Amino acid sequence: MADAGDSAPKRGSVVVPVESTPTLRATVTHLIESAADGEFSSIHFVVFATWRRDDPDTAGREAAVDRLLERVSTWAEADLADVDDADVDDVEVVTAVVGADEYLFGADDYVRELAAYADDHGAETVVLDPEYTPVGNTTLLQPLEFALSNTHLAVREAPVTRPTRRERLRKEATGIRFAATFGLSLAFYLALGDPLYPFDLASGVASAAIVAITLSRISLDANPSISRTPIRLLRGAVYVPALLYEILMSNLVVARVILDPRLPIDPTLNRVRVIVGSGLPITTLANSITLTPGTLTVRARDGNLYVHSLIPWAREGLFDGSLERWTRFVFYGREAARLPTPRERDDVGIFQGPDATEEYPGARSDGGTRGESDAGADGSTAEAVEPNAADADEGVTPE
C-alpha cells in the first residue's frame, strides 16, 4: 500500500471515497477489474475526516478509519493478485484521509476537499459506491453526485448490486439503534404522562415504536456503546439540573431587561468555535443554547455555532462557554470539561455593532454589504471572510 504523500500524478488515476457499506467489497473489485482493463493505473481510496484534530475522542474515530482503509487495501491487493495479467503489476493502490484540518458539513465542503485531492494527484475520475454517503447513516441535504457535477471531474457509480430496500428496512427495525431510540422515546412519553395509566402506556409504546422505526437510523449516528452509554446517561442526569438553572437565570435577566423602560437590549449575531465533536454532541450544545432565553442558535458550520444574542449578558455567558463545558462533560468526562473556554481560546467573533470583530461570512454571498455599524471599535473594518459556494444556511442537525 502506498502513502498518499508519496504518490505521483499519473494518467488514468481515480479517486474513490469509501465508508463501510454492504457494497464496498464489490466496489473495490470493480475498480481492480477496471484497472486490469487498462482504464486506471492508480486507485486512490479516501475517507473524509468527520472530526477535527482538537475534538475530544478523536483517537477512536481515527483508529476506525485506519482499520477501514487497511481492509480496503487488503481487498484491493488480493484482487490484484488474482488477476492473471502483467499489466496490473504497476497498478498503484493508495489510501488517504482527506479533510482532517477542516470541519466538513455540507456536500460542497466534501466536494471541495475531494476535488483538491484529485487535482493534487492527477486524478480526473471519481467512482462512487452506490451505497456511499460521507456522513454515515444519514444523508446530505444536497446529493454528493449533484455537487460533483459542478466540478471538472468525471463521476460515475460503480455498477454493483445494491441491497434491497426490504433488507435495509429490516435492519432499521431490529438493531441496537432501534432499541435505544424506542427506549428513550418511551421514557420521554411516559415522563410527560402517567406510566400507571393503561392508555398512556399503550399509546406510549405505539408512539415510541413509530419513532424508532422511522428515525432510528437518523437520530443516532453510531451504535450506542454499552460501556459508554450508561455513564453518559448519568452525566446527562447531572447536566439537566445545571441546564435548568441556566434557563432560570436567563429568564430572570431577560425579564428584567424587558421590564426596564429603557429596554437596554443589544442584539448581535456572534460566532463561537466549539470543541465538542460532531453529531449528537454539537446538536446537544446547539439546542441547549437555544433553550436558554436570550440566545438562539441559527447555524452550525465548520465547527462554529452562529448564535444570536439579545443582551450583552447573554453574549458574555456564551463566550464563557459554560454550556460547552457541560456538553463535553456529558459526552467525554471531566478531563474534556477542563479544556479552555471559547474566550480563553480566542475562538469567538461578533458580527454587529460597535464591538464587531469580523464580517459574517454569508453577507457577501447573500448580496449584503458591510456598513459602518459593522466596523470594529477602532473604526477599522475586519478582514472579509471569503464566501464559498456551500454558504447556504444549514440546520444544526448533524451529518
Contact in structure between 15 and 46 (CB atoms under 8 Å):
yes
* Rounded CA separation 152/298 (Å): 33
Q: What is the pLDDT of residues 325-353, one digit of tens each?
A: 999 999 888 888 888 889 998 889 999 87
Top-confidence residue, 127 or 383 = 127
pLDDT digits (tens, 9 = 90+) for 160-206: 876 544 444 344 444 788 888 898 899 989 888 888 888 989 999 99
Helix (H, G, I), strand (E, B) or coil at 20: coil
Mean pLDDT of the chain: 78
Q: Which domains does the chain have, with CATH numbers?
A: 2-157 (3.40.50.620), 176-219 (no CATH), 229-374 (no CATH)
R_g (Cα) of the chain, nearest Å:
24
| pLDDT at residue 251, rounded to an integer | 95
Average pLDDT over every residue of 199-214: 91
Do 30 and 20 contact (CB within 8 A), yes or no? no
Q: How far is CA 323 from CA 144, 285, 288, in A?
A: 33, 7, 7
Instruction: Tell whether pTM > 0.85.
Output: no
Specify the range with the lowest mean pLDDT, choosing from 8-17, 64-73, 203-212, 261-270.
8-17
- Arithmetic mean of pLDDT, 74-97: 78
Helix (H, G, I), strand (E, B) or coil at 320: helix
Reported confidence tier of residue 363, pLDDT bands at 50, 70, 90: low
What cell numbers appear for 319 in the block?
A: 463566550
Residue for grid cell 439546542: 287
CA 161 – CA 43 distance, rounded (Å): 21
* Range picked from 63-72, 168-177, 232-241 for highest mean pLDDT: 232-241
DSSP character at residue 369: -
